[in-house]
Structure 1
Amino acid sequence: MASNTTVRTLIAEGDAGRAAIAAPGVATLSRGRLLQQIDATVAALRGLGIKPNDRVAIVLPNGPEMAVSFLAVASAATAAPLNPAYREEEFDFYLGDLEAKLLIVQAGVESPVRAVAERRGVPIVELTPVAGGPAGSFGLSRNGQPAPSAAASFAGPDDVALVLHTSGTTSRPKQVPLSHRNLVASAGHIRGALALTPQDRCVNIMPLFHIHGLIGALLSSLSAEASVFCTPGFNALKFFAWLDEAEATWYTAVPTMHQAILTRAERNREVIQRRKLRLIRSSSSSLPPPVMAELEATFGCPVLESYGMTEASHQMTSNPLPPRARKPGTVGIAAGPEVAILDGEGNKLPQGEEGEVCIRGPNVTLGYFANPAANASGFIRGWFRTGDQGRFDGEGYLTITGRLKEMINRGGEKIAPREVDEALLAHPAVAQAIAFALPHDKLGEEVAAAVVLREGQSAEEKELREFVSRRLADFKVPKRVLLLPEIPKGATGKPQRIGMAQRLGLA
C-alpha cells in the first residue's frame, strides 16, 4: 500500500462493491457506500468550519455509526472518541484537555457530555442513523437543521487522525496523537500477522473508543478489504448469535471477554461447529495459558496472543499463525515495529537478558501532545520506551515479565506482580486475579491480590495463599487475598495495579 495512504485512501483503494460494515439485523454497507458516507461527513464538517487537526470529540454508543463516524472524522480532522460511560467530571476534563472544536452525539441519547459541551461553548452536532438504511449510514444536524456542506478537502498522511488519552495510572492522562501514517501502518501490520483476506469477517465486541477495537478489529479488516460486524458492545449472552449471523471468521478481545465467552460455549456447540473460526486474537492484557488452551480446544482454531499499546497504534508483537509455533505465556514475535530489549542507557541487551521493551517504527507516535517532560522520559536514542520489562527467547518470542513502575519492592526483593497473577490463575476456582503492592511500615511494600472466582466455584483466602506457596517463593506469596465480585477498573476499562490498594481501602 502506498506510503502516503490515509484512512480515506485506504478505503478508496479497495473494490467499491465489497462488504465493509455489517451489524445485527440491518443491511451491510459496501465500501463504495462507506466512502460516500465519509465524504458527505467531511463536507458537513468543513461546512461547520472544522479544519485538519481540529479535535472533534465523538460520544456514541458502540456500533456501526460509531465505526463509520471515526473513519469519517479522521478523514477531515482529528477524531477524539470518548467512553460514553464517563461521568460529567470526566467529560469536563477530556473536552477541556482536548480543546475540542466540536462534539458529535447521537440524537435522542441523553448524556452528561451535552451539558459539559454547552457550558464550555463546544458546538454539538447530532448524528441520526438512516432509518432502514445499511449499517453505519447516518445524517448530521446542528440545532435541529441538517449540517451545512462545504467542499470536501481531506486530511493528509502526516495530519493527526486520532487522539487518545493514556490511562494515567500514576498521573494526569497524557494525549497520544496518532497520524494517518501511524494508523495505516499498524492496520497493515495486523493484516499481515493474521493473514486477513477479503473473505474474512471480524465480529467486533471491543469498544470503539479504544485502540484495540478501532485498529485491531476495524481498520485492520478494512485494510484487507475484509468486513467488520459491529455489535453494540460485549455481551456474552448474545455473542454466539452474533457470530452466527455475521458468518464470522475471527474475533479479537481482551482475556476477560474470552473467559466470559468460554462460560457460554458448551450450550452453543452447534454455532461453534457451523461457524468454524479461522483464528481468535487476544490483546490488551496477559492471556493466562490455561485460557488459551481452553479456547483452542473449544473453537478448534489457533489463538494468537498479541501485545499492543496506544502509543504504537496498537500492535507491536504477535504470536504467529501455523505452521509457526504459538507459545502460551509469550506475546509472540515482532509484528510491525522493530522491538528491542534495552538497558537504562538505551543499549541493546543480549538475547535472554531482561530489560525494558522498546520499539521504533512507522506505527509509533512521534510523541505525546504538549508534554515535553513525558517525551524526554518516554524516548531514548530514538526508541519509544514501553515501560514494560521483558526478554526474548532464542527464537525471538517475547515474554513480558512486568511493568517497571508496577514492580513490588518488598524490602529490596523485587516481585513481578504478573508472576503472582499466573500462580493464582492456575487454581481451578480462579477466573481473574490481579496482584498489587500493599503499603507496609517496615518492608515498604508487601504483596496483595484481588481475585474473582469462577461461577459456581468456591475457595477461601487461606486455601489460595497455600496454593500459591507451593508455586512461588515465600516472599512472593500474597499477604492478603481479597475475594471480590469484580476487580475495580480504571477509565479505559483495564484493572490498574498502581493505586489498587487505595481503591480497595487497604492503604
Structure 2
Amino acid sequence: MNAEPAPTLSAALLATAQRWPDRAALICPRHRLTHADLAEAAGRLAGVYRRLGVGSGDRVACSVGNRCEYLVAMAAAWSLGAVHVAVDHRSTAPELAAVIAKTGAGTLIYEPGDDRTNPYAVPAAVRRRHPDVQVVVVTDHLAPAELVRWTVDDAGRPEPGDGPAPDDPAIVFISSGTTGTPKATVGFHGNLAGRWRALAGWLEFRPQDVHLAQLPLSHGFGMMMALSGLLAGGCLVLLDRFSPEAALQAVGTHGVTVLNGAPAHFTLLLDRLDPAVHQVDTLRFSVGTAGSFRPELVNEIWERLAVDLMVMYGSSEGIGVATKDAEDVLRGSVGRPEPGSVRVVDSRHEPLPTGTVGEIAFSRSTYPVRYYGEAPPPDPWYYSGDLGHLDEQGRLYIHGRQAHQIDRGGLKVDPVEVEQALLRCPDVADAAVFGRADPMVGETVCACVQPVTGRHPDLLVLRAELSQRLAPFKLPEELCLLDEIPRTAIGKVDLPRLREAARTPAQRLERR
C-alpha cells in the first residue's frame, strides 16, 4: 500500500494504475483490463461525458450489470468530479425515472437487457419522462440516433478532468430505507477512500489477490468489497449473475483468492462443490454479509473451503460492523463495535439493558449518514430499523428487521411498493405483502391477495405483470389467496393476523 493515502477515490484509482499498471484489474466475459487499461478507458469515456456537458457535481446514473464497463463508467464520472449514481441494472423504466427525478441525474449510462425485440425500450421510456436526460448505451450494435453508443474498445484520446475534492460527493446508493421511502444515500470521496483502503489493510488484501465480484456493484457491500480489492492492486473477476456453477468455475479458471457472499451464496456453492471436479485450493479468505451465518455453515466453510471467514453487517448508509474473530463468528455475532458507537434502544429511543433485544442505533459521529440533497439530521443517532442485542463483551447480534420492510439477500423490498403494483393487476381486489423467513435469502416476498370476484389469480401470471414495474428481486415468490385482507380499525394491514392467515401459501415459486 502507498504510505500516503490518496485523498479521493479518483486519485486512489490513478495511484493504483501508476503503481501496478500491468497487473490485471478487471475480468469479465468479453474483456480483460489491466489497471492502466482501466484508467485509459475511463479517460476516453470522460471525453464522451464532457461532450455531453457532464462536469463537476453533475450526477451520472449507471444502470449496468457486473461487467468491466461499470467500473470504467464510474471512474470516468469521478475523473470529471461528477457523482456516480448506482442503480440496479434490472430496474424498470418507472424505477429508473424515479431515481433520475430523485437525484437530478442529467446523464444515464445504460446496458440493454434481454429484450431482443426492443432493447432500448427502457431508455426511451425514461426520456419520455425526462426529455433532457442524455443516454449512453453500452453496446456493440447500432443504436437509435438520440442515444450515444459506447464500448470499452472505442478509440479516442483520454480526456480526464481535474477530478474531485475530498469533500465532494462520490457515489449515491438508492436505498428504500426503514420507512420504505426511497433514500439516496451519499458517500464522499475522502471518507470512502480512507475507509475502503483501511478495510483492505485490515483484511490484508494483496496485489496478487483475485476477488470474485459476484454481488451487485450497485449495492453498497458489493461496491465496498470490489473497490477495497481494486485499490489494493488486486483483480476483480466479475459475475453478472450468481450461480454456484459459474462461481466455482470462475474460482478454478482464474485462481480466485477472495470470495464474498451472503449465506445463500455459500450454501449453494457448497452444495454443488465436488472436489473431484472443482479446484478451490487458491481460496484464502471469505467475507459474508446479508444474513445470519449458522454455526453449521461456518464450520462447513472452514472445513470444505479451508478459508477464514469475516462476517460483516452494514447498510448502504455507510454503517458497518465486522469481525474475523473465529469465536465471534461461531457465536453468530457480527463483531464488537467501538465503545459508544452503537446502542440498542426501545420504541422511544431509550437505551436498553445489555442482552435485551431492541432497535440498533448508530452514532452519527462515528457513522456520518447523509442523504443526497438533504441537510444532516439533528438527531445524533441513526436508527437502523434492525433488531439486535449487545452481550456483556460488547458483541453485536442481529435479530432481523424491526419494520415490515423485506430484506431479501441484502436487497431491500418495500411491501407498500409491491402492494401498489399488485393492485394494478386486473385479478386483484386487495393486497398485502410481507417477508417470510427463508434460510437461503433471509426473507422471501409473500403476496396475499383478495381476488376480484370470479377471478383466480395465478402466481406466474402476476409475476409476469409485475415484472413490467418492479425489479426481479421484488417479485413475490409465494401467493396466498384470502377472502379478505385483515386490517386494523384505521385501515392498516394487521400483520400478525395476516401472517397467521397466510401460513400455507396457495402457490410457491419452485427454485431450480
**1:371 offset after TM fit, Å?**
5.0
Greater CA drift, 356-365 or 280-289? 356-365
The whole-number CA distance in structure 1 between the counterparts of 2:233 and 2:308 is 22
For 2:379, the equivalent position in structure 1 comes to 380
CA distance in 2, matches of 1:366, 1:256: 28
Q: Residue 45 of structure 2: which of 41, 46, 67 is its match?
A: 41
Report matched runs for 1:478-489 at 5 Å: 480-482=503-505, 484-485=508-509
Does the 8 Å CA contact 2:178/2:405 hold for their aligned counterparts? no
Kindly provide the CA deviation profile for residues 215-262 of structure 1, in whole angstroms up to 9, marking residues without a partner as x. Answer: 12x111023222211223312222111111221111111222222212
Identity %: 22
Deviation at 1:112, TM superposition (A): 3.1
Q: Distance in 2 between matches of 1:7 and 1:385?
A: 28
Secondary structure of 2:244's match?
coil
**Deviation, structure 1 residue 276:** 3.6
Counterparts in 2 of 1:407-486, with a 5 A limit? Answer: 421=437, 425=439, 444-446=494-496, 480-482=503-505, 484-485=508-509
Code of the residue aligned with 1:396 in structure 2: it is G
**CA 1:181–1:361 in 2, change beyond 3 Å: closer, same or farther?**
farther
> Hey, what does 2:252 align to over in structure 1?
244
**Counterpart Cα distance in 1 of 2:332 and 2:405:** 18
What is aligned with 2:370? 367
Partner of 2:458: none
Cα shift at 1:286 = 3.0
The verdict on how the C-alpha distance between 1:431 and 1:180 changes in structure 2, with shifts beyond 3 A counting, is closer
Task: Report the 3-state secondary structure (helix = DSSP H, G, I; strand = E; otherwise coil) of the residue aligned with 1:446.
Answer: helix
Equivalent position to 1:339, from 342, 355, 358 = 342
- Does residue 100 of structure 1 match 2:98? no
Moved more, 164-173 or 254-263: 164-173
Give the unaligned 5+ runs of structure 1.
131-135, 141-145, 409-416, 450-476, 488-507
Separation of aligned partners in 2, 1:108 and 1:165: 20
Residue equivalent to 1:9: 11
Tell me, in whole angstroms, the C-alpha distance in 2 between the residues paired with 1:211 and 1:235. 21
CA distance in structure 2 between the partners assigned to 1:404 and 1:261 by the alignment: 30
How large is the RMSD of aligned CA atoms in angstroms? 3.9
Residue 398 of structure 2: which of 391, 395, 400 is its match? 400
What letter matches 1:401 in structure 2? H
Note if contact 1:21-1:64 (Cα within 8 Å) is conserved in structure 2: no
Q: Deviations over 1:128-187 (max 9, x none)?
A: 579xxxxx98156xxxxx899866221221111111211357443111111113322331
1:34 & 1:336 partners in 2: Cα distance? 40
> Which residue number corresponds to residue 138 of structure 1?
152
After alignment, is 436-445 or 325-334 more displaced? 436-445
* Offset of residue 363 of structure 1: 8.1
Partners of 1:326 and 1:294 lie apart in 2 by 13
Q: For 2:346 and 2:245, how far apart are their aligned partners in 1?
A: 46
Give the secondary structure class of the aligned counterpart of 1:182. helix
Residue of structure 1 equivalent to 2:292: 286
Matches within 5 A, 1:177-216: 177-216=186-225
- The answer on 1:125 being equivalent to 2:136 is yes
Q: C-alpha distance in 1, partners of 2:55/2:446?
A: 45
The whole-number CA distance in structure 2 between the counterparts of 1:403 and 1:152 is 43
Specify whether residues 284 and 188 from structure 1 end up closer, same or farther in structure 2 by C-alpha distance, changes over 3 A only.
farther
Residue in 1 that maps onto 2:66: 62
2:27 aligned partner:
23
Paired position in structure 2 for 1:463: none
Alpha carbons of structure 1 residues 356 and 169: separation in structure 2 relative to 1, 3 Å: closer
Unaligned runs of 5+ in 2: 142-149, 407-433, 449-484
- The answer to whether 1:75 aligns with 2:79 is yes
Equivalent in the alignment of 1:163: 172
- Seen in structure 2, the aligned counterparts of structure 1 residues 444 and 297 have a Cα distance that, compared at 3 Å, is same
1:491 maps to none
Instruction: Decide whether the 8 Å contact of 2:255 with 2:283 is kept in 1.
Output: no
Residue matched to 1:295: 301
Q: Distance in 1 between matches of 2:392 and 2:276?
A: 39
**Separation (CA, whole Å) in 1 of partners of 2:197 and 2:342:** 17
In structure 2, what is the Cα distance between the partners aligned to 1:340 and 1:387? Answer: 13
CA–CA distance in structure 2, aligned partners of residues 149 and 19 of structure 1: 20
Counterpart-to-counterpart distance in 2, 1:326 and 1:53: 41
Change (3 A) 1:225 1:338: farther
Aligned position for 2:232:
224
- In 2, the alpha carbon distance for the partners of 1:287 and 1:243 equals 22
Paired residue for 1:356?
359
Change (3 A) 1:169 1:3: same
Which AA in structure 1 matches 2:321? T
Moved more, 359-368 or 80-89: 359-368
Counterpart of 2:256 in structure 1: which amino acid?
Answer: A
Q: Determine helix, strand or coil for the equivalent of 1:23.
A: strand
Identify if the C-alpha distance between structure 1 residues 101 and 432 changes in structure 2 by more than 3 Å, giving closer, same or farther: closer
Asked if 2 retains the 8 angstrom alpha-carbon contact of 1:179 and 1:365, the reply is no
Contact kept in structure 2, 1:388 and 1:402, CA below 8 Å:
yes
Cross-structure match for 1:172: 181
Deviates more, 1:147-156 or 1:159-168: 147-156
Residue 96 to residue 356, structure 1, CA distance change in 2 (3 Å): same
Q: Judge conservation of contact 2:314–2:320 (CA < 8 Å) in 1.
A: yes
The CA distance in 1 between the partners of 2:111 and 2:495, in whole Å, is 47
Is the Cα–Cα contact under 8 Å of residues 43 and 157 in structure 2 kept in the other structure?
A: no
What's the secondary structure of 1:386's corresponding residue?
strand
Conserved 8 A contact 1:44-1:147: no
Is contact 1:117–1:124 with CA below 8 Å preserved after alignment? no
Rounded to whole Å, the distance in 1 between the matches of 2:393 and 2:277 is 38
Q: Quick one: which amino acid aligns to residue 298 of structure 2? A: M
Residues 166 and 27 of structure 1, relative CA distance in 2, 3 Å threshold: closer
Question: Structure 1 38/334 Cα, relative in aligned 2: closer, same or farther at 3 Å?
Answer: farther
Aligned residues: 424
Alignment CA distance shift 1:432-1:5 (3 Å):
closer
**Structure 2 CA distance for partners of 1:236 and 1:370, relative to 1, 3 Å:** same
Q: Does 1:87 align with 2:92?
A: yes
Displacement of 1:105:
2.6
Distance in 2, matches of 1:94 and 1:24, equals 27
| 8 Å Cα contact 1:44/1:149 also seen in 2 | no
Could you say if the C-alpha distance between residues 484 and 295 of structure 1 is closer, same or farther in structure 2, counting changes exceeding 3 Å?
Answer: farther
Matches of 2:276 and 2:347 in 1, distance apart? 50
Counterpart of 2:399, as a letter, is T
Pick aligned residue for 1:154 from 130, 152, 163? 163
Q: 2 CA distance for matches of 1:59 and 1:259?
A: 29
Which amino acid letter does the alignment assign opposite residue 7 of structure 1?
L
Change (3 A) 1:126 1:437: closer
Secondary structure of 1:79's counterpart equals strand
Q: Tell me, yes or no, if the aligned pair for 1:157 and 1:179 is still in contact at 8 Å.
A: yes
Task: Report the residue type matching 1:178 in the other structure.
Answer: G
Selected match of 1:271 from 250, 262, 278 = 278
What amino acid sits opposite 1:243 in the alignment?
A: V
TM-score by length of 1: 0.71
